[in-house]
Chains A and B, each alone.
Chain A
Amino acid sequence: MKTVSISTAREGHSYPPVQYQVGREAIREFATAVQADHPAHHSVDAAVQLGHRDLIAPPTFAVVIAQRAEAAAVTDPEAGIDFSRVVHAEERFSHHAPITAGETLTAATTLERIRVMGTGAMVTTVTEITTYDDAPRATVTSTLLVRGEEEGEA
C-alpha cells in the first residue's frame, strides 16, 4: 500500500488573501447559471426596492470568490493534496451581509483541519470574505474528500 502523501503539518495555516471586485454582469451570469431568476440578481431597480444598494449575489455566489483563495491551500505542496483525487464533500455559507455589486472584497483561507483516514483524508478550509475595510460578508467552509489510493493501484 502506498503511504499517505498528505501532511497535517499545515493544519491551522492561513494563506495570503486575494481580492475580488463584484461586478453586476458576474452576478447576472452566475444567477442565470444556477437558474436563479429572482429580480434582485438581475434588476438594479428591483434590488434597490428591497433596500439593497445594487444587485445582490445569490447565496452560493460566494464560492466563486472563496475558490480563488482556497486555491493556495489546495495547491500548497506542503499540504500535499492530490487534486485529481479530490471530491467535494460538504459546503457551507454563513452570510453576514449580502454580497453586493460594486464591492471590492478580500478573501482569506485557513486550512482548518486535515483528518487522515486510511490512505485518504478529509480537508476543511475556512474562507473569510470581507470588504476592504473589514466589514464581514461571508464565511465559506468547504470540505474536500481526498480519495485514498487502493492497494495495487498505480
Chain B
Amino acid sequence: MPKLADLEKGQIIGTRTVQLSRADLIRYAAASGDHNPIHWNERFAQQVGLPGVIAHGMLTMGAAVGLVGDWAGDPAAVTDYQTRFSKPVPVPDPTQGSPDTPTAQLEITAKVGKLDEAAGTARIDLTVELVDGEERAKVLTKSQALVALS
C-alpha cells in the first residue's frame, strides 16, 4: 500500500485506457439492472435527443475508479467517490468486424489532488476523457476518490 508521506500533490499515480463496445454496455445493463433503452437501442436514443446509444454514466464512473483501488492495493481503501457527468459517451455499432468491437475509448489519468495527514487520506482526482482521433472531451468532472492510507 502506498504511504501518505511518499506522495505529493499533483503527482500522477496511474493512467488507464478503457475501451467500450456495445457488448460492454449490455454486460453492464445486466450486472447493474439498468436496462434503459438509451444504452442499447439506437432509434430510442435518437428519439430522446441523443446522438445515438450512449454508455451508462455509472459504467464510465465505475470503470474510471478501478486503477485507484489497484494502486491502493485494496479497493476497500476507496472510502468516498463522487463525480459529475458532463458529456455523454456515444458507443456506436461497429460498421464492420465482430459485433463486440470497441467503438469508444476512454483515457483516465489519476492525480493526487489533496493530502490530509490528520485524516490519513489522499484525494485522487480523475481526469476521464473520451478520445476520438485528435479530439478529446472530458466526460466526467469533479471526479474525486478519497483513499484511506497509512
Residues of A within 8 A of B (CB): 26, 29-30, 32-38, 40-41, 50, 52, 56, 58-60, 63-64, 67-68, 84, 87-95, 98, 141
Contact = CB atoms under 8 A, between A and B. Distances in A.
B82 A92 contact: yes
Contacts of A35: 18, 24, 63, 66
Contact of A38 (B63, B69, B84): B69
Given A34-B28, A35-B18, A36-B75, A91 B82 contact: yes
B123 to A, nearest CB: 13
Q: Which of A35, A50, A63, A88 has the most CB of B within 10 A?
A: A35
B7 interface: no
Nearest to A95: B79
A33 B28 contact: yes
B53 interface: no
Interface string B13-50: 00000100000100110111110000000000000100
Interface residues of B, number: 33
B29 to A, nearest CB: 9
B84 A90 contact: yes
Given A32-B27, A32-B31, A58 B75 contact: yes
Given A89-B84, A95-B80, 17 more contacts: A29-B27, A30-B62, A33-B62, A35-B18, A35-B66, A37-B66, A38-B75, A59-B75, A60-B62, A64-B32, A89-B85, A94-B79, A94-B80, A95-B76, A95-B78, A95-B79, A98-B75
Nearest to B66: A36
Interface of B: 18, 24, 27-28, 30-34, 48, 57-59, 61-63, 65-66, 69-70, 73-76, 78-85, 145
A89 B58 CA distance: 11
A1 B102 CA distance: 42
A9 B107 CA distance: 42
A63 B70 CA distance: 20
Given A88-B57, A92-B81, A59 B65 contact: yes
Contact of B61 (A37, A84, A91, A98): A91
Contact of B74 (A50, A60, A90, A93): A50
